[in-house]
Every structure is written in C-alpha cells, then in structure tokens.
Chains A and B, each alone.
Chain A
C-alpha cells in the first residue's frame, strides 16, 4: 500500500547511488521542496532517517504523523533553525539561507514574540524585516481577532498569542507558508476562524505546509499529504490519489501509522 502512494517515488533514493539524477518528467515539474537523504538525530536518537521527498509548488500540503515522528524537526530544518543534519534540502531550488527565509512565512508551534512586545510592535517588527508584509492587512486582522494594538504579549492568553502570530504570518505575501500546528492550542470554535484566515489569505499559487494532528478537521483542505512515521516518509502523494482508494485521509493515516497512532 505504501509504495503505491509514493507519487514521486522519492523515498529511499540514495543520492550516492544516483547523484542528482532526476527523470525528465521530474525535471519539468517545479518543486517547492526537494529533500534528499535527510537524516537528523538528537544525541543518537534518529528522528529523520535518510528521507527523500519532493513537494510540488502551489499545493496545500498536510504534514501528518504521530508525536515525535519528526514533523517539527523537519519544519525547523526548512525554516533554517536547525543546521546539524545531513543530506540535501532545497526550497525553490535553493539551499536554505537568506533567500529562502525571505520567501518562507514560518509559524512555529510555540510563541516567539518577546513578552514586552505589544501587538503593534509585533506588526512593526514584521513590517521592518519582511518586504512582502502587508501592515494594513495585519491591523485589520488584529481588529477581526479582537486584539488590542497596545496590549502586551505577556498580558495575552496562549490562544491570543497564537492568533497574533498567525495574523502576522498570514499578512505576508510569501511564496511558501510553513505552519506548525496552527490549530494546536485553540478551542474548536476558533479553529474554523483560523482555518478560514489561512485558506483565504495566502498568496495565489503559494505552497502551504500545514502540520497537524487534527487530520479530520483539515483533510478537506489538503491538496497533498506527506505522512511521517518512525523517521521515514510513509506517504507522499496527492489527495486525489489518496481518495481514489475510497478511504478518508484519517482512515489512511490510522492505517499507515498503525502502532504509533495507538501509542499517541
């Protein structure tokens, strides 16, 4: 079943054995992400084990997997926060660096604004550093979320902080959005609002990578699914291919993840 789902057939490709040899069909397709033989461990505990995959441009990608499968590690690598990995990672054909960071809008799974910042400081900070940031849009979002522009981050609840981060990230006209558990800390009522913000405000033809445990809530939004488990890519395919099996993403997720899902 797993092999049938590998749309790109990238898993297990050994770069040494086939150095940069891409098929003609593959070379025609534009990829937002190209990952080859990526391995990352924490003090000997391997989290990503020689994984290889490609993600086509302009897709909404669901990054799924049980806790500890390496989703956040992969996202951190793509965002340029982790450097001690082996393998090749390219975004839009370029190695991770200033150019990729300028094009990637990254939302982490933790709150990253300093406590002393007010809402308006966070907006100004993004306005200072990201050329694709729309300040007016961010202020409109803040009003929509009911965030006071002069309220300090330290005085906000965790949910408010997450909304603040989401609104600044989604106020960018980035080519790629990498969102790590954007619905993780919010109540079910707020989920639809946040999902609505994400789905209605990204730049046209942008690629969105959305990491989540809430497969059921989001599966209808995905164009593409990348499932990680036990350090490997278990599924990397378009949503149509998945649906052609007659099962929902959640059912396939449970089936593929197997024991790991039970542990969670």
Chain B
C-alpha cells in the first residue's frame, strides 16, 4: 500500500511542476546547440553577441530554476492541503491505510520534489557559470580552457577558505565536506517539508483551526522555532564532530582537535545539529500522524 501511496503522491506533485522542468529541458537543449556555433567567424562582434545570448539564456534558465523552487514549494503545500483536508480528503482519508503511511508517502514525495528543485537550481547556477566562462575562455585559450576553469574553481575555494580563516584543505577533503553540507541541507529540507505538513494538519484540528490560513503560517514557524531551539541547545551542550582527512573520517568531541584539524588542512563538520534535527523530525512525524488519525477533520 505504501508503494501505491508514494506513486500517487509523486504523480500529484509532478502534475503541477512538470511544465517548468520541460521548459528548463528545452533551454538546456538550446544551450547545447549554441555550443556548436563558431562565434569567432563573425569577429569580435560575433563573440560579444554569442556571450550576450549565452548569458541571457543562462540567466533565464537560472530564473526558471528559481521559479521551479517556488512552484514546487507551493505545490507541496497545496497538494497536501487539498489531498488531505479538502474535497480530495474525502477519498484519501477513507482509504484503508494507516495515517503514518499516508504521511510518509506525502513526505517522501514532497521532500523529493523540493530537494530536486534545489538541486536543479544549484546545477543550473553552476552550469550557467561554467557555460558562460567556457565561452569567454574558449575564445582566448582554445583547448586550455578546461584547465583555466579548474584553476578558477580552485582559486574560488582558496578565497573562500581565506575568508573563513582556515588553511585550504585538499580538493578531496573539500568535496567530502561539501557532500556533508549537502546531506545536512537535504535532511533539513526534509524536516522543513515535514514541518509544513505538521502546520497544515494542526490547522485542521480543533481548536487550532480557528486561525485559518494564518494559523498554518504561525504553526509552521512555531514548530520550526521549537525544532531549531532544541537542536541549538543540544548542540551547545554536546558537540560531536566528524574530522575529515584525505584518507579517513574520525569522530571527536574535542573542539581543540577540530581547531587543530583545520590548521592542518583537514576538514571538520559538526553533526550534533544534524542528528538533533533528525530526532525532532521523528517526533514531528509521530505527532502529525497522530493528529491525522485522531484529531484532524476533512472540510
């Protein structure tokens, strides 16, 4: 049953956002086609025009990706509200399935689409940067351009680490750190979606329904405040870090070791906040499933 619920939830969210992804796909194809045009044939004017066209389409692509994030977010909210508590709720809530299965299906689907939209936005931003950089560098450096792009990225990492006051770690460490931050962001994105579902559910329970849609916003921020405060408090009391070297990962509770790791060109990542947020997510999930099962009403 859970698989069928997830399938339907995926389709429901996809039906509202697929147009944006098709539009981005078309733009991606146009960008690829533009790569094969030799702008130098038309001299400096052609190169300038090519850069302008590529910059413009890159900008539109990033803008569309940004719109897709907003649209996905709106879709996740409206789909949950409509499918659980409005007319479609008469069907959904009369299905012989557990409320936890219903919620889990919505959560998996909603989180997937929200994370996908963020991922696509990042991909578009990075892709657009490289796309425009490639055009500029290809003109002046020919086949050397890929090395130039690589050097450009390394230089950016150096500047970033310098600004943070730490020794620049090797690229492999930096990539591992980036992966951990991305994972942490993904977990927090999933918790964000769950908090939205919690707020929507609470606003359909007595006496919380009285505030209407304003209540949804208030309950969301209330829930987010509780989760963030709990995670921050625990993070202050207990600090667990992962120290990343080029060869392995080690756990430590010592801030001195973390400081030393950064000075040695290693990376360190605090996981306390991450697991506290994950623990909160379990509680929010159980509370929301209970509310759906025992308290919430379909309109």
Contacts and interface: CB of A to CB of B under 8 A. Distances in A.
Asked if A and B bind, the verdict is yes
A98 interface: yes
Nearest to B16: A116
Contacts, number: 63
B90 A82 contact: no
Nearest to B79: A114
Interface in B264-298: 293-298
A214 interface: no
A43 B210 contact: yes
A128 B94 CA distance: 14
B147 interface: no
Nearest to B12: A114
Interface string B222-266: 000000000000000000000000000000000000000000000
Nearest to B1: A129
Contact of B96 (A43, A102, A108, A111): A102
B298 A113 contact: no
Best-surrounded residue of B94, B96, B296 (most CB of chain A within 10 A): B94
B98 A98 contact: yes
Contacts of A83: 293-297
A contact patch SS? loop
B88 interface: yes
Contacts of B295: 83-84
Contact of A79 (B94, B98, B205): B94
A102 B93 CA distance: 12
B41 interface: no
**Interface majority SS (helix, strand, loop, mixed), chain B:** loop
B94 A104 contact: yes
| Residue of B4, B89, B91, B93 ringed by the most chain A CB atoms within 10 A | B91
A82 B297 CA distance: 5
Contact of A110 (B87, B97, B98): B87
Nearest to A128: B4
Interface in B134-179: none
A112 B88 contact: yes
Contacts of B205: 84
Nearest to A105: B94
B8 interface: yes
A56 interface: no
Interface string B69-110: 000000000000001000111110111111000000000000
Given A84-B297, A125-B8, A125-B91, 7 more contacts: A76-B297, A84-B295, A101-B95, A104-B94, A108-B87, A116-B15, A129-B95
Interface of B: 1, 4, 8, 12, 15, 83, 87-91, 93-98, 205-206, 210, 293-298
In the A-B complex, list the 5 residue pairs whose CB atoms are closest, starting with the nearest: A102-B96, A112-B91, A81-B298, A108-B90, A101-B96
